[in-house]
Amino acid sequence: MTEHVVDLLGVLAYTELTAFSRLAADAEHAPALAERMAMADLAAGQYRHFHLLTARIVELGARPQDAMAPYVASVDAYHDRTRPNGWPERLVKAYVGDEINSDFYRELAIHVDSATAALVEEVVTDSAGLDVIAQLIRSAVEADPRLAGRLALWARRLVGEALSQAQRIVIDRDALAVLLVGDLDLPADDLNRMTRVLGRLTDRHTDRLRVLGLAP
């Protein structure tokens, strides 16, 4: 089971490390210093998560770089396929990306030991800066209502790419499949459960679009 947990922590850690770098770089594209500080704050939060996750990997006797290595290609592919165009798209990617991650973490954490589940919960609930980002998105849409449609499409693309990469990861790594859908003793049931997990993820995404003022 420890191997499965290290796998889980590895993908989460690499996701956070990458989000940290991307959001910190995004901050430089902010139209004003107040927005820049908000984005930098969110980026710094990703580093805190990364730090917690890698500390736990070390506790479990593994090296963070080894735990992360299998996920580099998939996570990088997600970012390469979702390059934001302009500041509002950066804001939406920051918000939606963070929230989709949180959803995945929660699904994955259902089947792990309680210490790891508590760590994952600590990470996903530490999202202090996210409300500010949501507020910036709502303000941008209020100032220019034509943005709503474009940003809703962008958010859908982000979710689609994230689900696609996640499915690829689960196909490649049996350990994560076990954590995501429970045991694999009933292969016939497996795809079914996976579909239900993805269904929950997309439902929550629809709720979030409403929060951002992007729902139709």
| Shortest reach from residue 12's CB to a copy of itself, in Å | 14
Beta-carbon contacts of residue 201 (< 8 Å; ≥ 6 apart): 100, 103, 104, 107, 159, 163
HSE of 126 in the Cβ direction (CA atoms, 13 Å)? 19
What is residue 34's DSSP assignment? H
What is residue 71's DSSP assignment? G
The residue behind tokens 């710094």 is 44
Which residue among 5, 6, 17, 62 contacts a copy of itself (CB under 8 A)? 17
| Shortest reach from residue 7's CB to a copy of itself, in Å | 15
Does an H or E element contain 91, and which?
helix 87-109
Number of residues interacting with a copy of itself: please give it, by CB under 8 A. 27
Residues in region 31-90 near a copy of itself by CB under 8 A: 32-34, 36-37, 40, 43-44, 47-48, 50-51, 54, 64-65, 68-69, 72
Angstrom distance (rounded) from CA 72 to CA 169: 10
Identity of the residue, 4 or 22, whose beta carbon is nearer to a copy of itself in the bound complex: 22
Identity of the residue, 72 or 118, whose beta carbon is nearer to a copy of itself in the bound complex: 72
* 194 is an interface residue for a copy of itself by CB under 8 A: no
Angstrom distance (rounded) from CA 172 to CA 191: 15
Identity of the residue, 75 or 155, whose beta carbon is nearer to a copy of itself in the bound complex: 75
Angstrom distance (rounded) from CA 196 to CA 181: 9
| Shortest reach from residue 77's CB to a copy of itself, in Å | 14
Compute the Cα dihedral for 121, 48, 8, 76 and give only its sign: positive
* 115 is an interface residue for a copy of itself by CB under 8 A: no
Chain residues binding a copy of itself by CB under 8 A are 17-18, 20-22, 24-25, 27-28, 32-34, 36-37, 40, 43-44, 47-48, 50-51, 54, 64-65, 68-69, 72
